[in-house]
Structure 1
Amino acid sequence: MSQQTLKTYPVWDRGVRLFHWINVLTIIGLLAIGLALMFSKEFGVSGDGKILLKAVHIWVGYVFVINLFIRLVWAFFGNRFARWKAMLPFGKVYKVQFQAYLEGRKIGQNVNFLGHNPLGRWSILLMFLLMIGQGVTGLILASTDLYMPPFGSQIKTWVAQDEASMALIVPGDRETGIDPIAYQEMRDFRKPYRTLHTYFFYLLMLSIVIHITAVIVEEKRKRNGLTSAMITGEKVFSEKPFDAD
């Protein structure tokens, strides 16, 4: 395939590209801090150090959640490849694309897609669901662990001995100003969310590994700028993609 036959097509708008790279950075940060917390005993992290790590983890988590929320909203306002119809594996357009994809596979012919291909849409759906689950459980844990937003004040009210005791309650101290029975109830409430948060983490890491592997394989096979498109916003093809205008 000669370079002269290639044509450039715009695909990812600035909103999608910003979300992608902010998401990458926050996930790397959350992964690093999360692993440090999981193995805090092995790393010899002190009690105060653990609280600091949790606080930083939560603040990075806020960036992750806000970025994810903006992306979900952007799916109503971005260009056509940023919208729900181009991301989710549902609808008439998806059925047509999936049929073309299957027919191409049967005869050994590549059917190129400018946006996500029909299988890639399932990967996107899975990753979004896992990120939403990770974000929601993380916000609950932030509130029940360090009494941080969005529900930290309500949790303090729950575990405090009385209204005056709320000012005495600080992260890491399980005694001062705390009703032990209410505190244990809160910890029991928190436990399933902590378990879910951990499993969402493992599943999200697995989905990311699969996603990166698929991108590398597709990039080597087609060489259409799949990776660089998240920087430039453009892909290159020798033939017009199935979903191009």
Structure 2
Amino acid sequence: MSDQAKLDVVRAYPVWDATTRWFHWINVLCIVGLLAVGVVILNAGALGVSGEGKVALKTVHVWIGYVFAINLLWRIAWGFVGNRHARWSAVLPGGRGYGRALLDYLRGVRAGDPPAYRGHNPVGRLMVAAMLLLLINQCVTGLVLAGTDLYFPPFGHLFLEWVAPAGASGEQLAGLKPAQSALLDADAYAAMRNFRKPFIELHELGFWGLLIAIPLHIAAVVITELRERSGLISAMFSGQKVFSREPRD
């Protein structure tokens, strides 16, 4: 078939709805901001950041985290009510026929002619699952740490009541600052800090996991775009992919 004939049969297919596209780019901006501030917090001592400066950095980190969490929760909900390609049944691995589709796709990649997919291909669904787990981990552990470090919602009041001195009034609790550990119940504060340790470890593991997963994700998208020429990258702006043959899904 000539190049002109191929162009004649190329067809655009709607894939990603506006909500999915907005989620993607808001998520990108939030993750870039969170990673950047997180790196500074991790290296605060080496950078000579003061105690007050570190609290300010954590505050910025948490506020970006709130946007990230709301955006992620909205996407999770949208996975149940969005269009067919935004739904979890089409995004996550598993379901009837998934194993066969994965093997067929890998055979196609090996042969240099992978099957076309409007939504995520079977390998892409594995990456989506890994990324989603990392994002949920960062969201949950981050909200817990925001409560233990800064006494911020949604869990801050619980931690503040835990470490507050006996008989403290609501007004006194509201006036306590993150750096005022000397005014707290010493035993309760030590217990709270022990409680938060596994959340710190999981949050840091998720941080390193994202530093590995994000370049892999970008590389996979670029390679797939170069191999398939389906408008995979532009689809996150336009919502459409283009194919010269009927996609599997």
TM-score (norm 2): 0.92
Shift of 1:96: 4.9
Residues in 2 aligned to 1:101 and 1:221: alpha-carbon distance in whole angstroms: 13
2:181 paired residue number: 174
Unaligned runs of 5+ in 1: none
1:44-85 per-position Cα deviation (integer Å, ceiling 9, x unaligned): 222211111100100100111110010010011111000011
**Aligned twin of 1:216:** 222
Letter in 2 for 1:197: H
* Deviations, residues 167-188 of structure 1 (Å, cap 9, x unaligned): 4421112112x01111000000
Answer yes or no: is 1:203 the counterpart of 2:209: yes
Q: Does 1:153 pair with 2:157? A: yes
Matched with 1:125 is 129
Q: Which residue, out of 58, 65, 68, partners 1:61?
A: 65
What residue is the counterpart of 1:185 in the other structure?
Answer: 191
Q: In 2, Cα distance between the equivalents of 1:200 and 1:228?
A: 28
Query: Distance in 2 between the 1:193 and 1:40 partners?
Result: 20
C-alpha distance in structure 2 between counterparts of 1:118 and 1:131, whole Å: 20
Structure 2 distance, partners of 1:107, 1:40, is: 50
What amino acid is aligned across from residue 211 of structure 1 in structure 2?
H
Task: Map residues 40-59 of structure 1 onto 2, 5 A cutoff.
Answer: 40-59=44-63
Whole-Å separation in 2 of the counterparts to 1:135 and 1:228: 28
1:5 and 2:5 correspond: no
Distance 1:155 1:65, change over 3 A: same
Give the match for residue 23 of structure 1: 27
Q: Secondary structure at the match of 1:235?
A: strand
Output the aligned Cα RMSD. 1.5
Q: 2:75 — aligned with what?
A: 71
Aligned partner of 1:39 in structure 2 is 43
Distance in 1 between the 2:9 and 2:178 partners?
62
The 8 Å contact of residues 92 and 128 in structure 2, kept in 1 or not, is answered as yes
User: Which of the residues 217, 236, 239 maps onto 1:230?
Assistant: 236
- Change over 3 Å in CA distance of 1:58–1:236 after alignment to 2: same
Q: SS at 1:92's partner residue? A: coil
Instruction: Name the SS for the 1:240 alignment partner.
Output: coil
Structure 2, gaps ≥5 residues long: none
Q: For the residues of structure 2 that align with 1:174 and 1:212, how far apart are their CA atoms?
A: 43
The SS at the match of 2:241 is strand
Q: Give the residue type in structure 2 aligned to 1:190.
A: R
Task: Tell me how far 1:7 sits from its aligned partner.
Answer: 1.1
Q: State how far apart, in whole Å, the 2-side matches of 1:156 and 1:110 are.
A: 55
> What CA distance in whole angstroms lies between the structure 2 residues aligned with 1:26 and 1:126?
18
Give the TM-score normalised by the residue count of structure 1. Answer: 0.94
Q: Within 5 Å, give how 1:82-161 maps onto structure 2.
A: 82-105=86-109, 108-161=112-165
Q: What's the % identity of the aligned pairs?
A: 49
Q: 1:113: how far off? A: 0.8
The one-letter code matched in structure 1 to 2:18 is: R
Task: For 2:117 and 2:152, locate their aligned partners in 1 and report how far apart those are by CA, in whole Å.
Answer: 44
